[in-house]
């Protein structure tokens, strides 16, 4: 008997291949909240809105456009996901990571995940607009994208997450940041379900767990990407200090405003990383 999920995935993949007419793409980038202008540097651009792709659910969040943008940068074909899907939108883990499965079908080797985060100021003196390279994560979403039926052709059932965030990619990113005088930290990302921000008590607890930054994404994407054998680089940018550390109430508008301020240095960092990959 044919499997419904794999059939949906194949349909989505076939649709995309028909639009882009090629399959050798090694690099993918997921753009977080408020980061708009990286796609501008791509040549031979082909934009495919998520809602046109069979079986993909719609992004419902302000600041997340919802497009696959295929193109070429420095002679390298790549795909940018402009906006992502979140668990808090009410979708299942399988639905929000469906685009990562499409990337897997495209045989993407390197996945750069970017995300807006709240800074926890645990051991790092984090401030607004700082960039943090993710060295590991703590999953407190309460779900896992690999839960449920297992499809042998998509990878192992029990996936090792020891090196979820690739050490060589972190090293490369740090070197490039240094050369370009961009300050970067390495830290631990803690994922919550959202969409409410955390309470100050939760942030105090997360500090004790060892978290440096908190966000509502990244982890489902990274887990699926690892099952698919992709090398993952996680880059977050502090759009606000976490609840209780910030003296102001948290707001999505502030998140978007700060994100536009970091976009310049983040674009530079990502472009230089791509040149070296």
Query: In the bound complex, what is the minimum distance in angstroms from residue 197's beta carbon to ligand HPA?
Result: 5
Cβ–Cβ contacts within 10 Å for residue 146, how many? Answer: 21
Q: Is 197 in the site for ligand HPA (CB under 6 A)?
A: yes
In the block, tokens 């499997």 appear at 3
- Contact window for ligand HPA (CB under 6 A) among 98-106, 115-123, 133-141, 148-156: 115-123
Is position 137 annotated as part of the catalytic site? no
DSSP 228: T
Q: Which two tokens stand for residue 210?
A: 């060892």
CA neighbor of 2 nearest in space, from 174, 195, 151, 186: 151
Q: Which stretch binds ligand HPA (CB under 6 A): 87-95, 178-186, 223-231, 239-247?
A: 239-247
Nearest Cα neighbor of 67 from 117, 114, 29 is: 29
In this structure, the number of other CB atoms found within 10 A of the CB of residue 201 comes to: 10
Nearest to ligand HPA of 155, 210 (CB atom): 210
Give whichever of 26 and 254 is closer to ligand HPA, judged by the CB atom. 254
Task: CB nearer to ligand HPA: give 227 or 239.
Answer: 239
Whose CB is nearest to ligand HPA? 118
Question: Does residue 242 interact with ligand HPA by CB under 6 A?
Answer: yes
Q: Do 131 and 209 meet the contact criterion of CB atoms below 8 Å apart?
A: no
Q: Which of 197, 240, 243, 259 is catalytic?
A: 240
Is 117 a binder of ligand HPA (CB under 6 A)? yes
* Catalytic choice (86, 177, 185, 198): 86
Q: Residue 240 catalytic?
A: yes
Interacting residues with ligand HPA between 201 and 220 (CB under 6 A): 214-216
The residue ranges of DSSP E strands in the chain, in sequence order, are 27-31, 43-49, 67-73, 76-82, 110-119, 131-139, 184-191, 213-215, 231-241
| Count of Cβ atoms closer than 10 Å to residue 181 Cβ | 7
167 CB burial (10 A radius; 0-12, 13-18, 19+):
exposed
- Residue 63 engages ligand HPA in binding (rule: CB under 6 A): no
> Binder to ligand HPA among 82, 166, 198, 212 (CB under 6 A)?
198
| Segment interacting with ligand HPA, rule: CB under 6 A, options 145-153, 169-177, 178-186, 237-245 | 237-245
Structure tokens at 78: 């790549």
Query: Would you count residue 134 as binding ligand HPA (CB under 6 A)?
Result: no
Q: Hey, which residues does 134 pair with through a beta bridge? A: 187
Residue 196 is among the residues annotated as catalytic for this protein: no
Q: Which of 27, 28, 33, 246 is catalytic?
A: 33
Q: How far is the CB of 272 from ligand HPA (least distance, A)?
A: 25
Burial class (CB in 10 A: 0-12, 13-18, 19+), 131: buried
Mark whether 264 is an active-site residue: no
Contacting residues toward ligand HPA, per CB under 6 A: 116-118, 197-198, 214-216, 239-240, 242, 250, 255
């Amino acid at each position: 008997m044919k499997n419904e999920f794999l059939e949906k995935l194949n349909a989505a993949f076939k649709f995309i291949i028909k639009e882009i007419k090629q399959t050798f793409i090694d690099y993918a980038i997921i753009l977080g909240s408020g980061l708009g202008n990286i796609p501008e540097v791509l040549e031979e651009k082909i934009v495919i809105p998520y809602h046109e792709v069979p079986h993909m659910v719609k992004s419902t969040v302000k600041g997340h456009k919802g497009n696959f943008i295929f193109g070429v940068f420095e002679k390298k074909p790549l795909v940018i996901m402009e906006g992502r899907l979140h668990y808090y939108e009410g979708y299942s883990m399988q639905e929000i990571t469906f685009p990562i499965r499409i990337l897997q079908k495209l045989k993407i080797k390197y996945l750069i995940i970017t995300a807006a985060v709240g800074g926890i100021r645990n051991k790092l003196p984090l401030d607004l607009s700082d960039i943090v390279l993710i060295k590991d994560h703590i999953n407190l979403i309460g779900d896992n994208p690999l839960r449920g039926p297992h499809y042998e052709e998509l990878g192992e059932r029990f996936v090792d997450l020891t090196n979820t965030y690739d050490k060589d990619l972190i090293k490369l990113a740090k070197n490039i940041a240094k050369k370009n005088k961009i300050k970067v930290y390495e830290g631990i990302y803690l994922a919550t379900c959202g969409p409410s921000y955390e309470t100050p008590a939760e942030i105090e607890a997360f500090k004790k767990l060892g978290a440096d930054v908190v966000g509502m994404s990244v982890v489902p994407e990274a887990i699926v990407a690892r099952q698919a054998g992709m090398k993952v680089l996680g880059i977050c940018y502090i759009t606000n200090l976490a609840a209780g550390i910030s003296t102001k109430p948290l707001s999505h508008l502030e998140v978007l405003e700060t994100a536009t301020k970091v976009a310049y240095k983040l674009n530079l960092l990502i472009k230089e990383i791509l040149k070296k990959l």
